[in-house]
Amino acid sequence: MQVLGQHEIDTAKIQRKSRHVRRKFTKTPTVLAQKLTAEYQDPSSKVIAMTYWIAKNIKYDYKAFINRSAYGKNSKKVLKKKRALCGEYAELFNEMCSSVGIDSETVGGYTKDYDFSIVDTLYRAEHAWTATKINGEWVLMDITWGSGYIKPKKQYLARLLWFLISKPYDVKSKFKKHYNPDWFYVHPTRMIQSHFPILDIFQLQNKPTTIDEFIKGEISFSPNVNRSSVGLNDFSSKSNYDKWVYSAENGNLNNLQNNRVLGFNYLLISDSLFRKYKNPKDRTLLVNEYGLNSLSRYYSLADSLLSLSLEDNNREYDTYSNRNKLWKNRLKTNNKLFVKQIKGQIKKDLKQIRLFLKMKQKIKSERRRNKSAIKTISKKQITKVKRPKKESIFKQQKVKEMFSALDSLNLVLDSMILTKDSLFNVYSKSDRDKILLSEGYNLVVNKKVRVNLKGLVKSKKGASFQGVYRYNDSLNKPWLRSDLEGVSIRNRTNTDTLVRVLLKDFYKIKGELKAYSKGAKNRLRIIQKIKKSSFKDLKEDSIFDRVQKESNNRLALYDIQLSEFNYKYKKYIKFLKKNNKKLAKSNRELIKESMLENYRYNTYNRYRSRIRKAENNRIKQFRKELKTIKGYIENTKELN
């Protein structure tokens, strides 16, 4: 590993040696630092040894973070407990650096927490990391993030009950130790993407990033950095008291909303002066008028700013709570619309199934009637019809009229044949196969929708779900809207149109068939009447047989066409039923998600409420300390 242009360093070798140190050398930061760095002369190797030991041996104190204790642990206690908060990590490292002649500063600032968004308030700067000076140049590192991460506990029983009977439970988290070298020697432009310091001097950039750019993520990588920062060198040379004064005067230049950071620094200043001047015997201050006025001013500033910080905490909770409520309302509203849309599609599919079945029954009935007509026509005979025994001029004229009527009837029946054939051919088999394929594709889409929704619900039941929505897509589900609209359009333009047109045409065909059957029977009756009225043999028998055979053949052909009219209707019904099953299951998943949303909403609100309560208690404890200072100030003023 090469650090800031130095010679190549065997990082792995240093880390192997520094990982395990005998317990007797880990009781104080000074002894520990000297033990870890005894073999090294260059500061880079020393820093690698110290940071690696801390990252591998100190766990993040997640319980203390949740409880928001007003008082932190000193470095000796951190070494004893092997647990630390971010500021305690930084302070331990600073003390170890100081004991081996390396300058190091704690950097307080903002980070983008897991529920961060561009509308967040950032009233509090809660994180701390480190700036370390190596060979005249400052480098940034976050030992806390480099030592591990927060992950949900397994909670097998609670999760099992949640899966089986939907019994709610609060997801508990723990710290997972995992050394991450990415957070050591971090480039300033990369660090500013996730870590925004309260003071600009810790950005190590020639052109500091604004807090608006940080919030919106509008930061571009720049190699132009300022590692030999004069401002940071001056700050590092100050006493703790002067650092607090500097931080109090400059702490909210980037973020005017942060009253907490100013109030806390003024509290440190007040406490420092109070400890310097206090006389415990008579509860007064041993200080001149100027010192008393300075302490009074710092006390007033600390108290008023901490009071404003309490209001900020409540306002922050309201912001998160309102956003949480907006999430819930938006998700439930969208899911309600999706459920309505799916129910509408199910209703359409069921209606189409009924139409297919209705057409099946109608066709079945029509085929029976058609076969009955064929039997009736087949039974008619002309051989038994007798001719007249003598010729009659009147009957000859009547025969001519009947032949004319027969020709007209033939023309009408031929026209019916053309009409019926066109109705039968509205949708060809290939057209229907294409429509069937579109319904099959709908089934594929509905399966995908159901799988996606099931996965979504499963993920929300899992311990890894953090209870926040980073993207609007999670609430609006544009993919679901697109898929459902696609299914609806394909079904409406294909299957629905098909079944309605077929049913409409069927009624026309039915009327035409009925008329054709009647006409065919009438033709045979006319031919029988012609024979009965004609003294001469006009070949009525052969005409009768030809017409009878032609009519039966045509009706038989219609029977075949009728049988094919409802082509593959069973497959249509099968696909529609399967689609309905998938849609119904998708609906159930959406309803489940809406139920889960109530649990997510309440759990997240409890989490934010717990933070507000703990933070408010912490500030109240600080203000309680300020009351003690106020009592000393008032006693001193009374004596003067």
pLDDT for 5: 45
Helices (H), 219-288: 230-237, 240-250, 259-277
Parallel, antiparallel, or unpaired: how do β-strands 148-152 and 173-177 relate? antiparallel
d(CA 123, CA 280): 36
Residue environment code for 127-161, b if the CB has 16+ CB neighbours within 10 A, otherwise e: bbbbbbbbeebbbbbbbbbbbbeeebeeeeebbee
Q: Is the pLDDT of residue 629 over 70?
A: yes
108-119: average pLDDT: 81
Q: Is the pLDDT of residue 242 over 50?
A: yes
Please write the tens of the pLDDT for every residue from 201-237: 999 988 888 888 888 888 877 777 888 888 899 999 9
pLDDT for 458: 81
Q: Is the pLDDT of residue 498 over 50?
A: yes
Name residue, tokens 């704690």: 106
* C-alpha 530 chain-centroid distance: 84
Please give the structure tokens belonging to residue 68: 């928001």
DSSP 8-state code for residue 172: P
Q: Is the pLDDT of residue 592 over 70?
A: yes
536 and 412 Cβ atoms separated by less than 8 Å: no
Q: Identify which of 321, 364, 383 has the alpha carbon closest to the alpha carbon of residue 565.
A: 364
Residue environment code for 588-604, b if the CB has 16+ CB neighbours within 10 A, otherwise e: ebbebbbebbebbbebb
Q: Is the pLDDT of residue 440 over 90?
A: yes
Paired with 128 in beta bridges are: 108
Q: What is the mean pLDDT of the chain?
A: 87
pLDDT for 2: 44
Q: Is the pLDDT of residue 70 over 60?
A: no
Q: Angle, nearest 10°, between helix axes 393-424 and 540-565?
A: 20
* C-alpha 316 chain-centroid distance: 24
Place 6 in a pLDDT band, splitting at 50, 70 and 90: very low
Please write the tens of the pLDDT for every residue from 400-437: 888 888 888 888 888 877 777 777 777 788 888 899 99
Ranges 151-165, 273-287, 346-360, 531-545: which has the least confidence: 151-165
pLDDT for 169: 67
Please write the tens of the pLDDT for every residue from 21-49: 888 898 999 999 999 999 998 999 999 99
Q: Is the pLDDT of residue 91 over 50?
A: yes
Domain ranges of the chain: 338-570
480 and 449 Cβ atoms separated by less than 8 Å: yes
- Measured in degrees and rounded to the nearest 5, phi and psi for residue 106 equal -80, 130
d(CA 49, CA 18): 5
91-95: average pLDDT: 94
Please write the tens of the pLDDT for every residue from 168-185: 666 777 888 999 999 999
3 and 134 Cβ atoms separated by less than 8 Å: yes
CB atoms within 10 A of CB 491: 21
Place 302 in a pLDDT band, splitting at 50, 70 and 90: very high
d(CA 294, CA 288): 10
DSSP 8-state code for residue 186: B
58 and 10 Cβ atoms separated by less than 8 Å: no
Place 464 in a pLDDT band, splitting at 50, 70 and 90: low
- Cα-Cα-Cα-Cα torsion 498, 504, 510, 512, nearest 10 degrees, comes to -110
pLDDT for 516: 86
Place 1 in a pLDDT band, splitting at 50, 70 and 90: very low
123-143: average pLDDT: 91
Ranges 70-74, 79-83, 621-625: which has the least confidence: 70-74
| Entry field: residues in the chain | 640
Place 69 in a pLDDT band, splitting at 50, 70 and 90: low
pLDDT for 338: 95
303-312: average pLDDT: 92
Q: Work out the angle at residue 104's Cα, subtended by the Cα atoms of residues 101 and 105, and round it to the nearest 5 degrees.
A: 150
User: What pTM did the predictor assign?
Assistant: 0.74
Residue 471 three-state SS:
coil
136-151: average pLDDT: 92
Q: Which residues contact 404 (CB under 8 A, 6 or more apart)?
A: none
